[in-house]
Chain A
Amino acid sequence: MPNFFEMCNQALKAKGRKEFSAMPVQRITAQGGVGNNDEHQFLLSYFELDGVGWGSPFLLVPEATNVDDETLQKLATAVKEDYYLSYASPLGVPFNNFRKSSGEAQRKERIVKNRPGSPCYKKLLSSNTEFTEKIICTSSRQYQNLKIKQIKSLSVSDAEKQQLIDQIEEKDCLCEGLTSSVLLKNKIPVPHNINAVTICPGPNLAYFSGVHTLKEMIGHIYGRINLNNKLERPNMFINELQLYIDYLQRQITEFGDSISEKQKKYIDKFKSNLQSGIDYYKNLLPRFTNFSFNALQLNSLEMQLANTGIFEEV
């Protein structure tokens, strides 16, 4: 079989276009949960990456990103538990979220006022046709009203109904929530007066606090200074592994007793992939001389993995 470069040139030729005379650059980069210079360097040197993405920590750098003052202060003083994996996205994909956002407060307030869901103006994430001919958004008030009405008419226990309703009401409007921050910061009028802010940092932001200058954050990336807060921080790979084990446990709990054959297979594959990951890290251990990658942490996570599923439905 031909390679990318040949394939590409053949296609260019077939189109009557100029071909590449030499193979163009093809970079490999990575991002997600990198937190200090040791990790940054390790990714570049051991994995031979051409670049590393640093996202969430820059939310604490007003010189680089747009976070309104109120939200910025909340991020700057947040604790680990404020960052969580939610079901807030109408796309149905898990969404890393921030508990203290004004968007989250607004969502709850609407439920208390018996007006769950959001007015929908942008419709970017609409995908549902359960009740309507045109697609609508599962975060919209229109959808949530229709769906809740349907749930209420089901012949199941009140507790089950409430559980189903809670799931519907967890969906939040991201189109407005994720855009209001830049408008508030620049004092631009917010359309439709919806000024609640949703913000979606990665869980790694728990290890950063305060507000920083661009020079400070870049100094941190390159190891000139240290901006990590006092919270004990396992390395990025351990952190990711922990997130995956938590996620696995959550899925097992959700599947419950009515787990299907297909779901069982999925869980088995998931577990075995995690176990190979742990084995890989154990072998890699000797190379991690610079940062805290200790065998104890790995062993304890390995035990957690072995125990997933056991503590469900206490």
Chain B
Amino acid sequence: MKNHSPHSFHIPVLGLSFSVDTPSKVARYGISSVMSIMDDGLLENLRAFYCHQHKFPFHHITKKEYDSRAKRITAYLNTIKRIVDKQFGELQQMEFKEGTDLWKYFELLPDNSALKISFERMCAEQDVAAKEQMQNHLRKQITPGSIDVNIMAKVDNPTYNHKGEPMPDEFSDALSALRGYALSDLESSIIFSAGYNPRLYSYIEHFEDFYPDNDVLKKKIILKVSDYRSALVQGKILAKKGLWVSDFRIESGLNCGGHAFATDGLLLGPILEEFRKNKKSLHAELF
């Protein structure tokens, strides 16, 4: 399994657009962040902008094109991945010198992380040959942050073709967004938030990248849950489909941005306590 970010924090999804390209700003420093992929029109607009900025070829995907929503999302995500790969590749080649992105990568790390400690050791090393060797080793050790996406599971309206006729289920807003992500080149996680959508969960089964290949999950599932019980219920539904939940993400019901899914008065402390107590049994002998 790929290493997790060397940071102990991540940047969650912020509205439709506030973090829509955050990975292209922070992933090269090893920071994981989450983009909303709800608005394919916005993504298409931004893809045009970024392709122009980075001199990538750009072919507009019109709204009328068959399966345009999924195609636009895939194209956008591949563009962001390309930008991050390019940035990270350049960063790895940089000099260990204050002011470079490579330097910044280490500067930002938590002081107690293994990477930061190796970095400090390298800085203190006097022997030129040893120092260079340590630098090369550090260059190989670093990884970019994850380029994650978020889908609000229940924002799942049907779509209509140009004649105004309803399209089949898999063209609904959430399902086509999932397809857009599933068919992208990203090796990252998708976060399902805002409730349980059985049709969406079943649809995950159609995509190869969510299944293990030599224990590696190319695409991982993160479930945003409000409490322990919903983690159990939803985790089980997915496990029975052969799908592994790689991260249960608990969010405060009211002390959060945007839509506030208040609990029935269950507070964050006691909720986290339940997870803590059951951490082992959650994936061991519970049930």
Which A residues fall within an 8 A CB radius of B? 1-5, 7-8, 11-12, 14-15, 17-33, 40, 43-44, 46-56, 58-59, 63-67, 85, 89, 91, 93-96, 122-127, 135, 174-175, 178-183, 186, 188, 191, 199-204, 214-215, 218, 221-222, 224, 236-237, 239-241, 243-244, 247-248, 266, 269-274, 276-277, 280-281, 284
B254 and A243 contact, CB distance less than 8 A: yes
Beyond A94-B260, A240-B255, A280-B270, 20 extra complex contacts between A and B, CB < 8 Å: A3-B287, A17-B242, A18-B214, A24-B212, A24-B244, A25-B246, A52-B9, A64-B19, A67-B18, A94-B254, A95-B259, A122-B41, A182-B46, A183-B42, A215-B107, A218-B7, A222-B111, A243-B254, A269-B265, A277-B266
A20 and B25 contact, CB distance less than 8 A: no
* Given A11-B240, A30-B268, A200-B257, A58 contacting B11 (CB threshold 8 A): yes
A46 to chain B, nearest CB (A): 8
Contact of B21 among A12, A66, A135 (CB under 8 A): A66
Q: Which residue of B lies closest to A187 (CB)?
A: B49
A63, A127, A218, A270: most-surrounded residue (chain B CB, <10 A): A218
B14, B42, B217, B235: most-surrounded residue (chain A CB, <10 A): B14
B255 and A243 contact, CB distance less than 8 A: yes
A7 and B272 contact, CB distance less than 8 A: no
Cα distance, A236 to B110, chains bound together (Å): 22
B1 and A274 contact, CB distance less than 8 A: no
Q: Which residue of A lies closest to B20 (CB)?
A: A182
B255 and A28 contact, CB distance less than 8 A: no
* Given A28-B279, A58-B11, A65-B22, A270 contacting B265 (CB threshold 8 A): yes
A201 and B257 contact, CB distance less than 8 A: yes
Q: Which residue of B lies closest to A94 (CB)?
A: B260
Pick the 9 closest A-B CB pairs, nearest first. A32-B252, A33-B255, A273-B265, A1-B287, A277-B267, A11-B242, A270-B265, A182-B17, A7-B239
Q: Which residue of A lies closest to B249 (CB)?
A: A29
B264 and A53 contact, CB distance less than 8 A: no
Return the CB mask of B76-96 against A: 1 if under 8 Å, else 0: 000000000000000000000
B252 and A33 contact, CB distance less than 8 A: yes
Which residues of chain A are near B261, meaning CB under 8 Å?
Answer: 93
Q: Which residue of B lies closest to A121 (CB)?
A: B41
Which residues of chain A are near B39, meaning CB under 8 Å?
Answer: 122, 124, 175, 179
For the complex, is B262 an interface residue (Cβ under 8 Å from A)? yes
Cα distance, A123 to B156, chains bound together (Å): 11
Contact of B15 among A200, A236, A271 (CB under 8 A): A200
Cα distance, A186 to B53, chains bound together (Å): 11
A28 and B248 contact, CB distance less than 8 A: yes
* Given A58-B14, A201-B257, A274 contacting B267 (CB threshold 8 A): yes
Which residues of chain B are near A240, meaning CB under 8 Å?
Answer: 252, 254-255, 267-268
Q: Which residue of A lies closest to B252 (CB)?
A: A32
B274 to chain A, nearest CB (A): 10
B251 and A53 contact, CB distance less than 8 A: yes
Cα distance, A285 to B19, chains bound together (Å): 36
B240 and A7 contact, CB distance less than 8 A: yes
Which B residues fall within an 8 A CB radius of A? 1, 4-5, 7-22, 25-26, 29, 33, 38-39, 41-42, 45-46, 49, 104, 107-108, 110-111, 155, 157, 173, 211-215, 217, 235-236, 239-270, 272-273, 275-276, 279, 282-287
Which residues of chain A are near B244, meaning CB under 8 Å?
Answer: 4, 8, 20, 24, 26
Q: Which residue of B lies closest to A274 (CB)?
A: B265
B265 and A12 contact, CB distance less than 8 A: no
A50 to chain B, nearest CB (A): 8
* Given A29-B249, A200-B15, A18 contacting B212 (CB threshold 8 A): yes
Contact of A24 among B41, B45, B215 (CB under 8 A): B215
Cα distance, A95 to B256, chains bound together (Å): 9
Cα distance, A33 to B257, chains bound together (Å): 9
Which residues of chain A are near B20, meaning CB under 8 Å?
Answer: 66, 182
Q: What are 8 residue pairs bridging A and B, where the CB atoms are less than 8 Å apart in the complex? A: A11-B243, A24-B217, A28-B282, A30-B250, A32-B252, A52-B9, A135-B157, A274-B267
Cα distance, A54 to B118, chains bound together (Å): 26
Cα distance, A55 to B253, chains bound together (Å): 14
Contact of B9 among A40, A59, A63, A95 (CB under 8 A): A40
A91 and B252 contact, CB distance less than 8 A: no
A85 and B242 contact, CB distance less than 8 A: no
Cα distance, A78 to B1, chains bound together (Å): 43
Q: Which residue of A lies closest to B214 (CB)?
A: A18
* Given A201-B257, A240-B255, A186 contacting B242 (CB threshold 8 A): no
Cα distance, A4 to B235, chains bound together (Å): 7
A89 and B259 contact, CB distance less than 8 A: yes
Cα distance, A44 to B276, chains bound together (Å): 11
